[in-house]
Structure 1
Amino acid sequence: MLSPTEPAPTPKAIPHVDFELDDLDADEERYLDFYRKVAVHEDMLVPLAAHHDGPNSYYVLFDRAATWGPGMPQVLAVHLQRDYEKRTFSFEQAPLPLPAMAQSWLVHRGCPHDAISLGPELGPPPADEATRALERRLVGDGDRYAMGYSYTSDDPDDMVIVVVLRALDEQALSPFRVVVEEVDTETWTHTLREGGFDTAGEALQWCDDRLTGEAGPLPPVRPAATAGHPAGVAKAPAPRPPGRSR
């Protein structure tokens, strides 16, 4: 407890993202596209990680506005490319459910692997080495899988993210994987686990059961005979889930 004479602690300011585009021109359509997809909620974007390399900038952003849409991914990956001679810019962006998936997306667009580490003071830290190991694998090998479905629940009684991925390697013995992040609100840590499935339907059903509290343990992953590649992020679409009533 503070004594009456002690000043109250100053709340820690939420970091602000600066895309540094004020001195660049672009056609109106590109500006509108960037505004609609990224900057419309600029004051709600919290930088979890950023790296600047000359004309290139890479951002992992937490989108606080995404919590308004049930189940929506709450992490945004942004790659900015500036042309200072022509005074223009271009960009790519992707909403993703997990920070490690956003890091992977940026790494495979030229960001150095070691340059996009997450700020340790933002968000619950990993609870164990299994979580840290899977996150490292997600960042490094994220182009081996395509994301087909995700659901983010920020219910304070059950904070969980489920993601379904499809292997791009036709040799994979577990062609579909589920990655699950769970937050322990008492210890303020998170765990990340993965399981392997033979069909998209089985993977989606497990996710649905998890979100309703009825899921059993995740089945083990059966890796391809050539190597055990982790779940991650890629570009090809995967089967869409059935409609949810949530």
Structure 2
Amino acid sequence: MLPSTEPAPARKRIPEVDFELDEFEADKEVYLDFYRQVAVHEDMLVPLAEHHTASGAHSYYVLFDRTATYGHPGRPQIVAVHLQRDQEKRTFNFEQAVLPLPAMAQSWLIHRGCPPDAIGLNPELGPPPADEATRALERRLTGDGDHYAMGYSYTRDDPDDMVTVVALRALDERAPSPFRVVVEEVDTDAWTHTLREGGFATVDEALQWCDDRLTGTAGPLPPVRPAAAFSRPAALPKAPAPRPPGRSR
């Protein structure tokens, strides 16, 4: 969530994204994909975090798409972009993912080569964490996000109930809590946000809790058992990064 929803006296100038591709080309398919998936909304993308390698060969962006929910209720508002430039040929390629939480975008970029300490969020954009529990969970999602695949998310940007729910599936089938729900809630009066997670035995239970939260009937999140479930066994092969949501509302 960005300063566009922040109380007027606290608003700051919103920065613009610059992909620095004016002197670069790409084949037709790559160029059209980049335009359709990223650049078409370039003037509405706000860089929450970005990192560029010294050579200019790679750029990593965590972007907030201010158009995401226009006519598309529930759609994720965060875009992760990895640009790859060939400095000699003056060509570029890219990868992108649409994700519901900044920490998930940071994780996606880290697992594509971005240094973890180089993609911190701009503290002047969006509400800060309300407590240490939120900061701790964001660190875990950023560092260990590839332990889980995303199956569903819903983002509500109503100032009276600004919330994002995300259902995740553990890639380690032995995890005692194989399904997780992560919930971000924004307090628009205090201008802070909280992040919490719960553990579920089945996908139906996880999705039902998400539906209940969105209708205002959810009980407390059940605890994750055990808390160390985010730690992957050393022998387990590396898992793919979280995927965009596959369930529509």
TM over 0.5: yes
Shift of 1:28: 1.7
Q: Is the 8 A contact 2:134 2:194 kept in 1?
A: yes
Partner of 1:180: 183
Partner of 2:230: 229
CA deviations over 1:79-138 (Å, ceiling 9, x no partner): 000001111111000000000000000000000000000000100000000000000000
- The separation in 2 between residues aligned to 1:44 and 1:237, in whole angstroms, is 23
- The separation in 1 between residues aligned to 2:64 and 2:244, in whole angstroms, is 24
Residues 119, 221 of structure 1: alpha-carbon distance in 2 compared, 3 angstrom cutoff: same
Q: Which amino acid aligns with 1:228?
A: A
Question: For 1:135, which of 123, 133, 138 is the aligned residue?
Answer: 138
Identity %, equivalent residues: 77
**RMSD value, Cα:** 2.1
User: What is the correspondence of 1:65-80 to structure 2 with a 5 Å cutoff?
Assistant: 65-68=67-70, 69-80=72-83
Q: Which amino acid aligns with 1:167?
A: A
- The separation in 2 between residues aligned to 1:63 and 1:110, in whole angstroms, is 23
Q: Which amino acid aligns with 2:49?
A: A
Partner of 1:34: 34
CA deviations over 1:137-191 (Å, ceiling 9, x no partner): 0000010000000000001110000000000012100000000000001100000
Partner of 2:43: 43
Q: Is the 8 A contact 1:165 1:238 kept in 2?
A: no
Residues 62, 237 of structure 1: alpha-carbon distance in 2 compared, 3 angstrom cutoff: closer
Q: Is the 8 A contact 2:152 2:167 kept in 1?
A: yes
Partner of 2:14: 14
Aligned to 1:134, the other structure's residue is in SS state helix
Partner of 2:58: 56
Number of aligned positions between the proteins: 231
Aligned to 1:120, the other structure's residue is in SS state coil
- The separation in 2 between residues aligned to 1:63 and 1:42, in whole angstroms, is 9
TM-score where L is the length of structure 1: 0.89
Q: Say whether residues 1:92 and 2:95 are aligned partners.
A: yes
CA deviations over 1:40-73 (Å, ceiling 9, x no partner): 0000000000000121000000000102120000
- The separation in 2 between residues aligned to 1:238 and 1:191, in whole angstroms, is 22
Aligned to 1:100, the other structure's residue is in SS state helix
Aligned to 1:147, the other structure's residue is in SS state strand
User: What is the correspondence of 1:185-224 to structure 2 with a 5 Å cutoff?
Assistant: 185-223=188-226
TM-score where L is the length of structure 2: 0.88
- The separation in 2 between residues aligned to 1:238 and 1:66, in whole angstroms, is 14
Partner of 1:104: 107
Aligned to 2:68, the other structure's residue is in SS state helix
Structure 2 gap ranges (5+):
1-8, 232-238
CA deviations over 1:181-233 (Å, ceiling 9, x no partner): 00001100000000000000000000000000000000000138xx4307xx9
Aligned to 2:206, the other structure's residue is in SS state helix
Residues 240, 15 of structure 1: alpha-carbon distance in 2 compared, 3 angstrom cutoff: closer
Structure 1 gap ranges (5+):
1-8
